[in-house]
Structure 1
Amino acid sequence: MSSTQEGTFEALRAQLQEAAATFADGPDALEGILLGLVDDVDRAVREPLEIFPVCHHSPASAIAMARRLREKQPKVVYLELCEDMAPLLTELRNCKLPVAVQAFATEVDGFPAEWSPLSVVAPITEASAEYQAIAYALDTPGVELVLVDRSSDHVFQWEARGTNSTELGADPGASDASPAEEEAALHGDAIGVKIGDLRPRFAELEEHLLRHGRVRHWSEWWHQYVELPLGDSDHDTYRQVMLLIGSLFRRLAPGDPQRVRVDEDRERYMWTRMREHLAASGTDPADCLYVCGAFHAAGRVAEFGVHGTDTFEISPRSATKWQHGLIPSSHAAIEAQFGLAAGSVSIAATVWAKNVKRTRVEPYRLAGQAGAKKPKAKKTTSAAAPESAPPPSDRLTGFLQQPPVLDRLDEDELLGWSVEIVRAARRNGYLASTADAIAVFETSILLAGMRDRAKPTPYDFQDAAVTCIEKDIVPGRRDVRRLVEIMMGGDRTGQVGYDALPPLARDVHDRLVPLNLKLQQRGVQRALLNIASQPELERCSDVLWMLRYLMPQGAARPIMGERRLGERPIQESWDLALGTHQRALIELGYEGVSIEQVLEQRLRRAAYGPHATAATVLEAVEDATLYLRSRRLADELGTRALEVLSAERSVDGAPEVLRRVRRLLAYYRTSEPVLPSWIESFAKTGYAHYCTLLPTAFTDEGATVRQVAAMLGFLFSMESLALSLGCDRTQLELAVAQSHPQDPSKTVLLWAAWTHLGHLSRKDLRTRCDELLGNPLVVPAYPRYLSGFLHALEPVPSLTDFVVEAVSNAFGRLPDAVLLPWLPTLITTLRSGGAEPAPLLIREAGRIFPGRLAALDEWVPPWRAKPEPEAMPPARRADGSRGGALLAAHPATCDAVASLLGCEGTWEAADPDSPGVALTGRYPDTAVALEVLLAGP
């Protein structure tokens, strides 16, 4: 080093040392910090490989970057970005900014399964230094772009998810963002890699800066005290100031070992990668530019610099398979994820446009960049290497000592803002007038003066607009603060072009071409499918139903039409918003090459997951049949459902199992010549399974009445199929006989089972209900018996008329003190589990009760009407000749009946004119019964 360079910051060191001795108890208290800041800046400035410190989405950084790239023309640009994202950067020219580079993994290997899916995003806007570096490197021949930050896999290796958010994403507690808008979900729950994150990690320091700066949040402080002063500064001043800020925030950061370790390991990683590239390529460090966050530019690790040590070992990546792509981003998404104030990124975009116009710096834009203006013809530059710049001088001392720049008030700009916000407020329902525009104008100047500013900032104007226009009422869905954000540039949302989409997303767009819709546009579009007249649209319908299953709610929403087993669509109407949910569609592309493949993987994952139940597997079987029409997959998942059912020891999913197996059985019976083998085995196994669990479920307090009713419904509805496959009805008889419930609702279910099996007659059942109503000790609990009757309609629908009778008797005999509190229970029971029994009850009640009010007075319930005496057949003579002749004509039949009845005797000789008279006379009742059976009345 030359003596000139060694004495670059000697004057600043002397001043800080004197200040430390003056304002502290002794020079040792502050000297270490203050002089350490200068040492960090000096070390970074002396580095042969030029370090360019940046701040995340800072217009000042972007302007300084564009200016420096045109001056230096580096041959290699090292960028702080995940190294595995490099192949995606060329696709940025096919997108409309802002977008985010994403690494995505659904199947993890080496990380906890509950972390899946893993997602890392790095948003890029046009008003950012990183985009300027990327555009320069990709569009300038002979320039190489090298990403040197840790890979996406190392992001999760080094950071315990959910315990720290140092570089991974925003700390929710430190966010200045307002409640998340709909657009704030564009990044989902992805971890954000911040390029140039620059914010105090020392809470007291940030609070001190905000209080003395008279600002509300960090974004406003940065805009006022860094963006505006550095907007017109030269390269050396910009670089030294940014290095100083990065060193200050780093030295005053809390000593969290986890955060410090991650920060230092990232710096070791990046410098190790850069030295490896320099050694492999032989590039002169003077021809390179290292773009990184100011926080890392002032690092103090031993690996720092091209002459640093090579002791850092980079761990190998895990076996996780990562997918990479571009997803749409937005200003609101960046603000919400990275803890910026609402509207700050939009204001930064506006400031960027003004700086470009004021400084006349020609920014870099990727050739063919979607949504960008065509760049002007570039001036031809010589291919010779730029001359080496002289050693930088001390610019910090002058910058820190200069008084605040008193910008002249731009009255035309402020008047335009005031008029525009009043116009926007009127459109959104506010009673704003010209007087409000004048008030906003004057209040903005007043607030700026109170905050020691010569010129109102956008934040001052925003506060003034809220004070003068909004007052205490928001008539529409947008408040004035949001209107100001929109007026300052709005929430710009990026878009990934067709060529940059993964194969699955392109395939979806290609298959939906017959709809003649611009599916890449944001917003909701209506699609009308007349499949009856255009059968080719049925394929579009299949795609839409699969998208509805796979994508978030709202991406594909059916307005008319439904998909059921065994039915074919005729007409459908859809609301599509694939452009709005482009991120979700792109992430589907990480899971497979077609939506059919992704859907099959999802169904398999649900069926073979650790928490899979028989009900969830049957749902997967139904979805495979409904959406994929795959008999192969349905049979495989059906076999899996049989395995899961056999291993279950609870009846929690019995209602869902009953509902789905009934639907599948009805479908296969109407559409297939024979039932699949798996559903026959399921019925047989389920019959034995639920017979085994039935006695326990009746007495288990954890088993609900609906679950026990579903078990009985499965047993009774599958009984004929199960018996035909070899099951024994005795097993069901024994299960019911061993059931001894104590709960009134379950007791009624047992009565219903007895009635279905023939062990309890309607007369006996009616007698039991009358006894319950007649017992004053049981009357308060009688509504619970009625609830059991309602659930009993699931397994025994033939009791519908009896349930109507029981409910009618209850309403007629129960006192109001018992009946009225029970009505809510009745209603909730019908709503929760009475979707199928309710129509039966209504139809039966409509059949029984009179249709007119006049007939109600004379109406007698059918269960109270006295039955008419039946006409008895005339008694037959025991010794009639017909009986004797019939017995003599069929002696074998007579012997068989006598043996069944336990009668003993032998045939005796009798008068040939009346054979059998002796036997008939001995057993007259048997003779009469036999005559009735064989000869008829």
Structure 2
Amino acid sequence: MTGAPDAPFAALRSQLQDAAATFADGPGALEGILRGIVDDVERAVGEPLEIFPVCHHSPASAIAMARRLREKQPRTVYLELCEDMAPLLTELRNCRLPVAVQSFASEIEGFPADWAPLSVVAPVTEASAEYQAIAYALDTPGVELVLVDRSSDHVFQWETAPDGGTGDDGDPDAPEEAEQTALHGDAVGVEIGDLRPRFAELEEHLLRHGRVRHWSEWWHQYVELPLGDSDHDTYRQVMLLIGSLFRRLAPGDPGKVRVDEDRERYMWTRMREHLAATGTDPADCLYVCGAFHAASRVAEFGVHGSDTFTISPPSGTEWRHGLIPSSHGAIEAQFGLAAGSVSIAATEWAKNVKRTGVRPFRLEGQAGTRSARPKKALAATAPAHPVPVPAADRLTGFLQRPPALDALDEAELLGWSVEIVRAARRNGYLASTADAIAVFETSILLAGMRDRAKPTPYDFQDAAVTCIEKDSVPGRRDVGRLVEIMMGGDRVGQVGYDALPPLARDVHDRLAPLELRLQQRGVQRALLDIASRPELARCSDLLWMLRRLLPQGAARTVMGERRLGERSIQESWDLALGTHQRALIELGYEGVSVEQVLEQRLRRVAYAPQATAAQVLEAVEDATLYLRSRRLADELGTRALEVLAGERSVDGAPEVLRRVRRLLAHYRTSEPVLPPWIESFVKTGYAHYCTLLPTAFTDDDATVRQVAAMLGFLFGMEGLALSLGCDRTQLELALAQSHPTDPARTALLWAAQTHLGTLPREVLRERCAELLGNPLVVPAYPRYLSGFVHALEPVPHLADFVVEAVSNAFALLPDAVLLPWLPTLITTLRAGGAELAPLLIREAGRVFPARLAELDAWVPPWRLPQEPPAPPAGQAAATGGVSLLAEHPGTCDALARLLGCEGTWRTGGATPSGAVLLARHPQTATALEALLAVGRHG
């Protein structure tokens, strides 16, 4: 577009053309850029639908917006914000700013699975132009607010990968409040007024010649302050000029260019659709958008643009919408602003409102503000719109006018200096009045070095760090952070009760008996005496579920625990639901009650493609523990059986063993019969681990602890498995086929053979003695001991032998072998054998003397003379069994019939026929004798 000689911007265009010829030795690319900038401004200014360019969280933009809305009083406000967020804006009046409008999707369709969950946030602060437009439109009768930017679904359709930030120009080492800067999580930020150079060299040039540290300070110094008191036309043209400059100097990244232009096509298409549907006069409308998108060159630009853009249909993803708390720190972290810049902007906003006398718009009933007076209907107060006249050129005068130098406000600077010294002393710094004077003078000095008549907050911050912090930070906050707090602090918003989703409101209602202010930030202590107030049991159930679902610290138990089959009668909790309000709100996107969300998450874990048997068993335990749902537990237990049957590794064997033991103990004490799924699980697990056992003994990827857990499952569940039809021969064959080469696994195999009776203890003791007597094997002997320690998991009755083996090692191993092994033993017991240490300690306490004086004369039990061998089992059993069964002939006859033996009792003192029977079956005689002995003494 080229302007006519008498066009408003002809003089500016001519000057820029002369400058381009001078600096570039003739017209060329520079001339095209400079002339194009003026063309962009002229095109945007001449558009019948007024375009209002803004910068996000800019006090100057907010003041200009409030002033223009009162002058123009538009009937329709088009706002650059995701169109699907419109229903949430009315809930802003129930919140305390800053808050963020959020779109959230946990179950996605049409996007890569690793993107889930998807989240889009648009933060809103009072010192932002978009809030002024929202408050005006919602509280003024007859005004319609229309959101025209791409939907949340299109945000991800047009992105190659979700990214939660745009960079960071702040100090990466500056201390931040983690819970405040993480309020937005990993959400993608939608920002009105993305006004920052995308040309790195340009930004570096501006920062260097502007003598500033980061972009936020440059914007404050060279844009915010000059535009703070400017008229509407000047503000508008300057913002359009900056937006066009950054747009034309942006790198030609095809992806970013495509997204930027598609957004502009999308917005203008939506605006033309609305104008055609409602018949609204464009002169009665106001289009609020970022300055970067206001100076657009797409064919769809303007009310008379082309209608060639086709909006793609949304994906199948179901989006949830809500409001979440935000903070100044969260906005800075997400949009790459310098730390403290949003707080400084809030302070400048308050000063501008007071200085200019502009009455800003606030939503009626807005939390934290005074109620606004009722407004009259727009139809009665709206002025008639005159015939539009061409805008005058305000850019030439603005660009040629030297900057207005503000006089030094000594009272303000002195107050800052005194306040920062007071804050520093409260935080452990040795600051004094002399430091306040030094900060005052240094601020003026730095401002002079940077060609400023008045120190800015950033100059003052640099001076305070230099004069007070010096080289150490005694407390948690450094001086830079103290200045940010002093300038307004990291204000944190809050979503009101009425704006919460149903689940969050239900949580507050159900926890009402605790009589706590749950929306208040910080930690509150809740004491639950369930024994005297049984109604608090429901609160306890809810708190345990919240502890399971919310981030750590939202609900933390101080006293009391919840285990299978156990219930606390008193509990103490530290609650911080107000601090973690965002996480509670996002739970409301997943369901209408906490129980529903927990059940959905348990199912999602159990039916995940990569789910393991241990994870599914954990879901079963949680369903029993928190939901007390036998139906869900049985369903998930059946799923655990399917997952276990499909596993080909033993990575989860320790966790499977631990959880199955716990579930079995619970069902045996609380249920008349075991659930069918757990019987099938034990039966399948027995066969499954028997099959994997030979491979696991030689597999380098399987650890000793995992193999020990497999044996623990086989030995611990053997009784139940055999009663369900399993064959012990399968286990014996599996051990016979196992041929480990690793010392630890070899010791584990020996322990298993000892448990089965195929390796007597005397032989095991002899093997250990041979290992200690072989100089070539002595360096590896500690690894054998590690295997024996892990063997306590499947064979706990070997504790006395393990104590013996460890004691022999301490007595016989050389220091060069023993001392390096001791840390390994300690770490082994700590990491994987916490439950094994009590066995060793208890057995050692039984074997070793209790007093030091007895130690010199003490002889280990394994070195005492062995007792003579006992008589053969058959003979002993026959001798004892005859006398016992002679007293109970009925029992002997029943046993004979059971075994298929025929015979009669002899009289006359002769030996009964039972003696012959018992001689044939000595084990049966021994077992029967023990059984009768128990019955006799019971």
Q: Which residue is equivalent to 1:632? A: 631
SS at match of 2:811: helix
Moved over 3 A (4+): 1-6, 172-180, 374-382, 384-387, 867-873, 912-916
Asked if structure 2 preserves the Cα contact closer than 8 Å seen for 1:73 and 1:386, the reply is no
Whole-angstrom CA distance in 2 between matches of 1:548 and 1:597: 15
What is the deviation of 1:73? 0.4
Q: Does 1:723 align with 2:719?
A: no
Give the alignment of 1:836-915 within 5 angstroms: 836-869=835-868
Q: Aligned residue for 1:9?
A: 9
Confirm or deny: 8 A CA contact 1:177 1:341 kept in the other structure: no
* 8 Å CA contact retained: 2:175, 2:478: no
Deviations for 1:14-44, whole angstroms, at most 9, x for unmatched residues?
1111111111111224210111110000000
Match of 1:122, SS?
A: strand
Give the 3-state SS of the residue equivalent to 1:26 in structure 2. Answer: coil
* Residues 725-774 of structure 1: per-residue CA shift (max 9 Å, x gap): 11111111111111111111111111111111111111111111111111
Separation in structure 1 between the aligned mates of residue 703 and residue 332 of structure 2, nearest angstrom: 48
1:309 aligns with 2:314: no
Summarize the Cα distance change of 1:85–1:5 in structure 2 as closer, same or farther, 3 Å threshold.
Answer: farther
Q: CA deviation at 1:181?
A: 2.7
Change over 3 Å in CA distance of 1:469–1:843 after alignment to 2? same
Query: Residue 476 of structure 1 aligns to which amino acid in structure 2?
Result: G
Distance change >3 Å, CA 375–CA 865, structure 1 → 2: same
Q: Which amino acid is 1:214 matched to?
A: R
Q: Counterpart of 2:775 in structure 1: which amino acid?
A: P
- Comparing 119-128 with 415-424, greater Cα deviation is found at 415-424
Say if 2:191 is the partner of 1:194. yes
- Name whichever of 423-432 and 358-367 sits farther off: 423-432
Q: Which residue of 1 aligns with 2:428?
A: 429
CA separation in 2, counterparts of 1:869 and 1:203? 92
Q: 2:211 aligns with which of 207, 210, 214?
A: 214
State the secondary structure of the residue aligned to 2:571: strand
Match of 1:754 in 2: 753
Shift of 1:555: 0.5
Q: In structure 1, what is the Cα distance between the partners aligned to 2:640 and 2:871?
A: 57
The structure whose Rg is larger is 1
User: Which moves more between the two structures, 57-66 or 1-10?
Assistant: 1-10
Against the structure 1 CA distance between its residues 618 and 6, is the aligned structure 2 distance closer, same or farther, given a 3 Å change threshold?
Answer: farther
Q: Which residue of 1 aligns with 2:317?
A: 320
Is the CA contact (8 Å cut-off) linking 1:178 and 1:341 kept in structure 2?
no
Q: Return the TM-score normalized by structure 1.
A: 0.92
Contact residue 177 and residue 339 of structure 1 kept, 8 A: no
Which residue is 2:39 aligned to? 39
* 1:745 corresponds to: 744
SS at match of 2:381: coil
Please report how far the alpha carbon of residue 386 of structure 1 lies from its aligned counterpart in structure 2 after TM superposition. Answer: 3.4
Structure 1 distance, partners of 2:807, 2:703, is 25
CA shift digits 1:143-197 (9 cap, x unpaired): 00000000000000001115xx6xx731257888945432100000000001011
Q: Are residues 694 and 158 of structure 1, via their aligned partners in 2, closer, same or farther at CA, if it must alter by over 3 Å?
A: same
5 Å matches for 1:440-479? 440-479=439-478
- Name the structure 1 match of 2:903: none
TM-score by length of 2: 0.92
Once the two structures are superposed, what CA deviation does each residue of 1:323-344 show, in whole Å capped at 9, x if it has no partner?
0000000000000000111111
* 1:123 and 2:123 correspond: yes
Residues of 1 paired with 2:474 and 2:910: CA distance? Answer: 107
Pairing 1:204-283 to 2, within 5 Å after superposition: 204-283=201-280
Q: Which residue number in structure 2 is paired with residue 486 of structure 1?
A: 485
**Within 2, Cα distance between the matches of 1:871 and 1:712?**
31
Amino acid at match of 1:351: E
The residue type paired with residue 133 of structure 2 is A
User: Could you say which residue in structure 1 is the equivalent of 2:68?
Assistant: 68
Q: Which amino acid aligns with 1:123?
A: P
**Counterpart mapping for 1:244-393 below 5 A:** 244-375=241-372, 382-388=380-386, 390-393=389-392
Matches within 5 A, 1:636-647: 636-647=635-646
Which residue number in structure 1 is paired with residue 732 of structure 2?
Answer: 733
Task: Give SS of 1:575's match.
Answer: strand
Distance in 1 separating the partners of 2:167 and 2:870 = 89
Distance 1:849 1:97 in 2: 69
Cα drift, residue 375 of structure 1? 3.6
Output one character per residue of 1:489-514: Cα deviation in whole Å (capped at 9) or x when no partner. 11100000000000000000001001
Range that drifts further, 729-738 or 331-340: 729-738
Q: Is the 8 A contact 2:2 2:39 kept in 1?
A: no
| 1:346-380 deviation per Cα after TM superposition (whole angstroms, max 9, x unaligned) | 11001001111111001000000001133467699
> Partner of 2:534 in structure 1?
535
User: Quick check: 1:108 aligned with 2:104?
Assistant: no
Equivalent in the alignment of 1:904: none
- The letter for the 2-side match of 1:203 is A
Q: Which residue of 1 aligns with 2:878?
A: none
The residue that corresponds to 1:568 in the other structure is 567
Contact 2:165/2:333 (CA < 8 Å) preserved in 1? no
1:872, 1:133 → 2: CA distance?
A: 101
Aligned 8 A contact 2:139 2:375 in 1: no
- Per-residue CA deviations over 1:624-661 (Å, capped at 9, x if unaligned) read 11111111111000000000000001111111100100
Out of 156, 181, 187, the residue aligned to residue 177 of structure 2 is 181
Counting matched residue pairs gives: 896
Query: 1:871 deviation in Å?
Result: 9.6
1:859 to partner: Cα distance: 1.0
Deviations 1:596-632 (A, max 9, x none): 1111111111111011000110011111111111111
Letter in 2 for 1:722: A
Please, which runs of 5 or more residues in structure 1 have no aligned partner?
A: 877-882, 901-911
Matched-pair contact (CA < 8 Å) for 1:538–1:569: no
Q: Distance in 2 between matches of 1:256 and 1:498?
A: 45
Deviation at 1:867, TM superposition (A): 3.2
Task: Look up the SS of the partner of 1:863 in the other structure.
Answer: helix
Matched, 1:682 2:685: no
Classify 1:732/1:395 alpha carbon distance in 2 versus 1 (closer, same or farther; 3 Å).
Answer: same
Alpha-carbon distance in 1 for matches of 2:73, 2:577:
41
Question: CA distance change for structure 1 residues 848 and 284 in 2, over 3 Å: closer, same or farther?
Answer: same
The answer to whether the 8 A contact 1:175-1:339 is kept is: no
Give the distance between the partners of 1:685 and 1:126, measured in 2 at CA: 63
CA gap 1:852/1:176 in 2 versus in 1, 3 angstroms: closer
1:123-202 maps to which residues of 2 (within 5 A)?
123-162=123-162, 169-172=165-168, 178=174, 180-182=176-178, 183-202=180-199
Tell me: CA distance 1:33–1:179, structure 2 relative to 1, closer, same or farther (3 Å): farther
CA distance in 2, matches of 1:196, 1:817: 70
* 1:777-796 pair list within 5 angstroms: 777-796=776-795
- C-alpha distance in structure 1 between counterparts of 2:417 and 2:749, whole Å: 77
Partner of 1:96: 96
Looking at structure 2, the residues matched to 777 and 441 of structure 1 have their Cα atoms a distance apart, in angstroms, of: 78
Counterpart residue type for residue 364 of structure 1: F
Secondary structure, counterpart of 1:567 in structure 2: coil
Q: Distance in 1 between matches of 2:192 and 2:870?
A: 99
Q: Distance in 2 between matches of 1:463 and 1:3?
A: 47
Pair 1:575–1:6, CA change in 2 (3 A) = farther
Q: Classify the secondary structure of the residue corresponding to 2:114.
A: helix
Between the aligned partners of 2:216 and 2:656, the Cα distance in structure 1 is 55
The alignment status of 1:776 with 2:775, answered yes or no, reads: yes
Question: In 2, distance between residues paired with 1:377 and 1:476?
Answer: 49
What is the letter of the counterpart of residue 34 of structure 2? L
* Structure 2 unaligned residues grouped into runs of 5+: 876-881, 900-906, 930-938
Aligned twin of 2:19: 19
Post-superposition Cα deviations, 1:566-607, rounded to whole Å, max 9, x if no partner, equal: 001111111111000000000010011011111111111111
Q: Residue type matched to 1:191 in 2?
A: V
| Equivalent position amino acid for 1:698 in 2 | F
Of residues 412-421 and 393-402 in structure 1, the stretch that sits farther from structure 2 once superposed is 412-421
1-structure distance, mates of 2:772, 2:428: 63
Is the partner of 1:327 in helix, strand or coil? Answer: strand
Q: CA shift at 1:384, angstroms?
A: 4.1
CA distance in 2, matches of 1:274, 1:764: 90
Name the amino acid aligned to 2:773: G
